[in-house]
A and B are shown apart, each in its own frame.
Chain A
Amino acid sequence: MEKGIKEIRRSGNIMFFNYLKIVWSLSISQFFIYRLTSVFVCFFGVLFTTIEVITLFVLYHYTDSINGWDFYSFLTLSATYTLISYIYQFFFTLSHEKLIDKIVEGDLDYDLVRPIDSQLINSIKQLDIPSLINIVIAIVLLCFSVPHVLTGHIFGIVMYILFVLMGVYFYYLVNQFFINFAFWIERPYQIAAIPEYLLDIASRPRNVYPPILHVLFVWVFPILLSTNLPAEILRGDYSVVTLVYYLLFIILFSFLVRIQWKQALKKYQSAN
């Protein structure tokens, strides 16, 4: 049995890909173990989407357009919101929830001695399989609404997908940002619920909000852009300035969250 110690053979990227593969198969196992819970998760995903759609029907029963958004545009926006929310949920939500618990209980030691970035490993530990169903529902809604909305061509769709993924990444950063406060605050669960409220605000057209809120959530903290921008792109109705600003903001925010994480670890490790 005696073998020499093997050297690291593969590059970091492939390692992470392998890690992801295994996380995927473990997530499937866990999905079947917690069958009932998974059913519930599917159920409320469907429930929320239904509520959104019913609300839309009620709203548009009384008018044809809300601030320039017709029924199909609004539906597109709603579906985009659902899509971003559930893609985030699929990849990150279970791990993020576990992370808060681990921070509160001081249970991060094993994660910190692994030869893999601690933020990364705590962001993806288990995939939420039931969310896939809700992602499918969102895509179905989009198939229904987008043809009525799309001005432009295939390029618009590609941009749309890119910006949806950007939205997911941004939402991930927002969550990570608030979760990191758990290192400093004794009861972090309330704070950790904030991202959800923020994204909820973004589920509506941004011009519905009064100027103060508009400035706050588009320029100060562009959560509104994460959902609105992709939808606007599809309509061919976006401003390049907003787009560039959004991307720049995300880059800066990434650095901020990263620094925050490093600081948080320092604090975690210095306490006993």
Chain B
Amino acid sequence: MISFKNVSFSYKSFKKQVGIRGTLKDLFKREHVYHTALENITFEAEKGEILALVGPNGAGKTTLIKLLVGLIEPSTGNIDVLGFNPYKKSNKYLSQIGLVMGQKSQLTWELPAIDTLHLIKAIYRIDSKDFTERLNYFLNLLNLKDKVAVPVRKLSLGERMKFELIASVIHYPKLLILDEPTIGLDIESQRAIHKFLLHLNQTEKTTILITSHYMRDIEALAKRIMILINGQIKYDGDIKQLVNTFNKGNTIIVKTKSELPDEILGYKIKRGSEENSWEILLQAGESYYELLSYLTNNFQIESFHMKETPFEDIIFNIFTETKESSS
């Protein structure tokens, strides 16, 4: 369904020189700077996949999305989505994709959402009966029945985002692209949207591509994650594997009144943040049976539990590691 082959995108921008003199100089000769937003991107996605696109700001996520919807043309490489070249922007192609941009709205501000939906119905030529059924179905799913006649400017952010979502899927798109859809939303709305997207994916096999800075979104929705850093794909694969590969290790928190030494069986032991707690760093996947036996035999252990490195930390580590290695 989606196929990127050796896709790169660069653009030219002008360096503005400082001060009045600089502005005058610019009139005659401008310094060009070439930015490479994406470099050698190659990946494929199947129908019905949910793919999370993650990366620090400026990594190229929005550029990739713009390539997908045909807003920009790749400098090199081939893109094929649903058998189309997106940049050609054929109406047939555009009728099959849906787009949600978290920071921009497609709803008419002063009118109720239903009016924008009617406009979309006309533009995408949705059959009236289908439209009404599908709309009611979505309204029920997202709990928006009594909000449909409220002007958009009076809706809460969560309600508005839900309507943006409906507006982007009302025409049965085969591919749905979400660019930071949960920005600024409360937890309830976030979860409602997750639920909705998963349901859509399961029932209609809609392929979903989502970018987000909230790891909660990624964990809830995607099995596959693609990490973009500085315009390159640093990782593309299963999320669980990612966790296992990049997990620096887990921490055991031990609670005991006894004083623990600095080191036991080769493990370094630190004081924990709470009273009477201690932290021991383990390698990922490592068995800690020996350590535990030793601890319980030699000390009065009150409790222990495993603290897994949060997904967010793992991603953070990947971002910073790559930054360090490239600088």
Selected contact of B125 from candidates A9, A22, A109, A110, CB within 8 Å: A9
CB contacts under 8 Å to B, within A5-39, are 5-6, 8-10, 15, 18-19, 21-23, 26, 29-30, 33-34
B292 CB to nearest A CB, Å: 51
CB of B70 within 8 Å of the partner chain: yes
Q: Which residue of B lies closest to A15 (CB)?
A: B125
Question: With A9-B127, A269-B71 known to touch, is A1 a contact of B111 (CB < 8 Å)?
Answer: no
* CB–CB A272/B63 < 8 A: yes
Contact A110 B137 (CB under 8 A): no
A window 250-272: CB within 8 A of B = 269-272
A110 touches B11 (CB 8 A): no
CB of A154 closer than 8 Å to a CB of B = no
Bound complex: CA of A96 vs CA of B108, how far in Å?
16
Tally of contact residues, B, Cβ under 8 A: 41
Task: Confirm or deny: A113 has a beta carbon within 8 angstroms of a beta carbon on chain B.
Answer: yes
Report yes or no: A30 in contact with B172, Cβ–Cβ below 8 A.
no
Which of A114-122, A169-177, A201-209 makes up part of the contact surface? A114-122
Whether the Cβ atoms of B119 and A116 lie closer than 8 Å is no
Chain B 123-166: CB-based contact to A (< 8 A → 1; otherwise 0):
11111001001100100000000000001000000000000000
Interface membership of B208, Cβ < 8 A: no
Q: Tell me if B40 is interfacial: C-beta within 8 Å of chain A.
A: no
Do residues B101 and A115 form an inter-chain contact, with CB atoms below 8 A? no
Contact yes or no, A109 B110, CB < 8 A:
no
User: Which residues of chain A come closer than 8 Å to B71, judged between CB atoms?
Assistant: 109, 112-113, 269
A115: contacting residue among B95, B172, B203, CB under 8 A = B95
A271 / chain B contacts, CB cutoff of 8 Å? 11
Q: Does A3 contact B (CB under 8 A)?
A: yes
B118 touches which of A22, A30, A116 (Cβ 8 Å): A22
Please tell me if A186 contacts chain B, counting CB pairs below 8 Å: no
Q: Which residue of B lies closest to A114 (CB)?
A: B123
Kindly state the interface size class of chain A when it binds its partner: 20 to 34
CA distance A211 to B204 in the complex (A): 69
Chain A residue contacts of B97, Cβ below 8 A: 113
Q: Is the CB of B119 within 8 A of A19?
A: yes
CA distance A114 to B121 in the complex (A): 11
Q: Chain A contacts of B133 at CB under 8 A?
A: 1, 3
C-alpha spacing A9/B95, complex, angstroms: 13
Bound-complex Cα distance A6 to B97 (A): 14
Q: B80-96 CB contact bits vs A (8 Å, 1 = yes)?
A: 00000000010110110
Complex CA distance for A110 and B65, rounded to whole angstroms: 13
| B49 contacts the other chain (CB 8 A) | no
- Taken together as a complex, chains A and B put the C-alpha atoms of A6 and B99 apart, in Å, by 19
Contact of A8 among B104, B106, B108, B125 (CB under 8 A): B125
Answer yes or no: B37 CB below 8 A from chain A CBs: yes
A270 touches B69 (CB 8 A): no
Question: In the complex, are the beta carbons of A109 and B104 less than 8 A apart?
Answer: yes
Do A22 and B104 have beta carbons less than 8 Å apart?
A: no
Cβ-based interface call for A101 (8 A): no
A6 and B91 contact, Cβ closer than 8 Å, known pairs A26-B119, A110-B99, A121-B123:
no
Q: Closest 3 A-B residue pairs measured CB to CB?
A: A115-B91, A19-B122, A115-B94
11 contacting pairs across A/B (C-beta < 8 A) = A1-B203, A2-B204, A6-B127, A9-B127, A18-B122, A33-B110, A107-B104, A113-B97, A114-B123, A269-B71, A270-B72
* B residues whose Cβ falls under 8 Å from a Cβ of A: 11, 37, 63, 66, 69-73, 89, 91-92, 94-95, 97, 99, 101, 104, 106, 108, 110-111, 115, 118-119, 121-127, 130, 133-134, 137, 151, 172, 174, 203-204
Please report A residues at the B interface, Cβ cutoff 8 Å. Answer: 1-3, 5-6, 8-10, 15, 18-19, 21-23, 26, 29-30, 33-34, 107, 109-110, 112-116, 121, 269-272
